[in-house]
Amino acid sequence: MTILKNNTGDFNFTSLLIALLFLGFASCVDREFDEPPIIVDTLDFPATGTIAQLKSYYAAGKFVEIPVELDIHAVVVADDRSGNFYKTLIIQDSTGGIELKLNRIGLYSSFPVGMKVGLRCQGLTIGDYNGLIQLGLGTYQDGSFTNIAGIEDVLIENYLFKGPKNQTITPKIKTINTLTAQDISTIVQLERLEFSSGELGKTYADAVGQNSVNLILTDCDKNEIILRSSGFADFANIQIPEGNGPIVGILGKFRTDVQLFIRDTSDIKFYGPTCNTGPANLREISIQALRALYSGATTAAPDSTKIVATVISDKEQSNITSRNVVVQDATGGIVVRFLTSNTFALGDLIEINISTQELSEFQGLLQLNNVDISRAKKTGTNTITPVVKTLAEVLSNFEALESTLVEVRDVQINKASGSNFSGTCILTDATGIMDLFTQSYAAFANSNFPVGNLKLVGFINQGGSSQAKQISIRNLNDITGGSNPTAEYITILALRRSFSGSTSSVPAGKKIKGIVVSDRTLENTTLRNIHIQDSTGGIVVRFTANHSFNLGDELDIDISGQEFTEFQGLLEVNNVPLDKAVKTSTGQIQAKTYTIADVLANFEDLESSLVIIQDVQISKVSGTTYSGSCVITDASGQMELYTRPAALFSNQDFPTVKVRITGIVNQGGALLVKQISIRSPGDVQP
């Protein structure tokens, strides 16, 4: 130790004392406020390859096990925090990106965006889902389709290793027309984008029905790309923004469609003005005033004008060409024909810049023609109440009523040949006769029309070489009353086995009868859906509106010509009008007992039916409530127990002892996960 001296050479005790006090104080500070060392995850193995090399093992239409030792280092660029990705991480290195399937929820807590990860690829499986390359472990069978399986929860840490956090992958700045296949599953930034005007006013996805939604984005050169968002995303019910600017997202693919997925809404920065906005300060004119401008020859709408009206046609049911929309305000209605297919839905309130647009007739029907879709935008929703008319009144006031919604009562439908809606049918009431016209490609064209006295709602139409005066319905809900005496019963299992694998229509003249096995009262199913089961099997029926059928109701449902499709792997009869289902009695389905392995092995036949599984243990990666995905395990295997967060019992704790579960065999999510869903906590018994 150095001894301090004063200028005279003597010891300086004051300085020594201060020095000793300082040292003592410093050592106290070290002991008192000593911080624990910061532990940083490091990867203890080098990268021996790249994502590009990994993808070189991919063979279209095949599932290939990686045969060699291949270790890669990459950065997580998307996780499942917002719910827009499910049991999925997107990882990327300097050579590309890939979708990694992992059978775990809450991945973001272990592998967040920005974490560097190491992946040991030997033994993993590479393949694709509808053209999007994926990496997982093994495959599973979904009917006739084979899909990549996620790496099971207990095995994830055998393949995926944590590295340091807060690593940065800078999004590649691109435009829509410069995207390439090498950009798939990577993070990109697309410049000068805005939502197509027809999308404005919509939300990112369907949060109520938990359905994914495609929205159209366009750039200032009118190139388009799909923004796809999950109905389970925490931003699903947020209204999309107006404006223009950059979007950061993960580029995806579904068959021939290129899609963009955001991680959350902060990926969209629409702070600039839109590039497709029409002139400001447009003068609103009524549809009646607009129609009055037409004198029999093609003319132009006044400059600097707009109309604001409600959509009364239904594009979902396709009884109108995809470029056309019928709109109505308080004074009248008109057809608007766009240059491209439109996305406006029944009930949308839209504003259209009609400045100098062509006003002309096509086969006698007055229309605004060749309107650029960018001139129209949704501003809200509205309901038009149809006016009640006799057929004679419709015909005598046809020009004023054209393209408006009317209701006719005590009317009968007939046809010269056949019994379905397609083409021209004859409407008759006590006052007269008129055509009922249905496009051959309408979703309900092959449905049999009901017989007897009916109430019918439709828009007044005109067309054909003879410029026939017509009524067209929007969907089957527009007709109430009557009956379909020609329909015959089909078992639910026979109906299921008739599904071809792609969306089609149920053949004409078919009914099903069964017992409701789902329970709407506790809302572990959407209020438009029921699971109905007969002695042979079960199926989902999705109605066009919320239903009031209860657990145990016996229903008779006319499914003639209804859409027959899968949603997230779950087979359903879709868009069934409520009046097609009639309660005939009450009853009970006796659930059969299966092991989990039995359920998985016979999944397609058991889907939507009630089963019992004995000696089951329920567990969850995080938490103890039913909400979301739990894992159920018996001696034969594992599968998912899924409860909607909206279910009234979702926040209730599940039992930790072995239980007997009664539930509906279900399927859902982006990965078409095979699931069991209970109706109430009473379905879980010790």
Q: What is the pLDDT of residues 435-471, one digit of tens each?
A: 999 999 998 888 888 888 899 999 999 988 889 999 9
Q: Which element (helix H / strand E) includes 399?
A: helix 398-401
Alpha-carbon distance values, 560 to 29, 421, 489, 492, 508 (Å):
82, 11, 10, 14, 4
| pLDDT for the residue numbered 26 | 38
| pLDDT for the residue numbered 595 | 96
Task: Tell me what the mean pLDDT of segment 423-428 comes to.
Answer: 95
Buried b (16+ CB within 10 A) or exposed e, 6-35: eeeeeeeeeeeeeeeeeeeeeeeeeeeeee
- Residue 22 predicted with pLDDT over 60: no
Task: Tell me what the mean pLDDT of segment 404-427 comes to.
Answer: 93
Task: Tell me what the mean pLDDT of segment 570-591 comes to.
Answer: 90
Q: Looking up tokens 């291949």, which residue turns up?
A: 70
Q: What is the pLDDT of residues 172-216, one digit of tens each?
A: 999 898 899 999 999 999 988 999 888 989 999 999 999 999 999
Residue 388 CB contacts under 8 Å (≥ 6 apart), including other chains: 406, 407, 408, 409
- Residue 7 predicted with pLDDT over 50: no
Least confident of 37-46, 555-564, 591-600: 37-46
Question: In DSSP terms, which residues pair with 575 in a beta bridge?
Answer: none
Task: Tell me what the mean pLDDT of segment 576-589 comes to.
Answer: 88
Q: Report residue 561's pLDDT band, with 50, 70 and 90 as the boundaries.
A: confident
Least confident of 4-8, 198-202, 373-377, 645-649: 4-8
Least confident of 3-12, 327-336, 391-400: 3-12
Q: How far apart are CA 81 and CA 90, in angstroms?
A: 12
Q: How far apart are CA 74 and CA 587, in angstroms?
A: 57
Extract the tokens encoding 201: 């006013």
Q: How far apart are CA 75 and CA 187, in angstroms?
A: 11
| pLDDT for the residue numbered 220 | 81
| pLDDT for the residue numbered 483 | 66
- Return the higher-pLDDT residue of 661 and 670: 661
Q: Are 619 and 628 in contact (CB under 8 A)?
A: no
Q: Report residue 485's pLDDT band, with 50, 70 and 90 as the boundaries.
A: low
Task: Tell me what the mean pLDDT of segment 95-103 comes to.
Answer: 96
Q: How far apart are CA 498 and CA 491, in angstroms?
A: 11
| pLDDT for the residue numbered 295 | 92
| pLDDT for the residue numbered 40 | 56
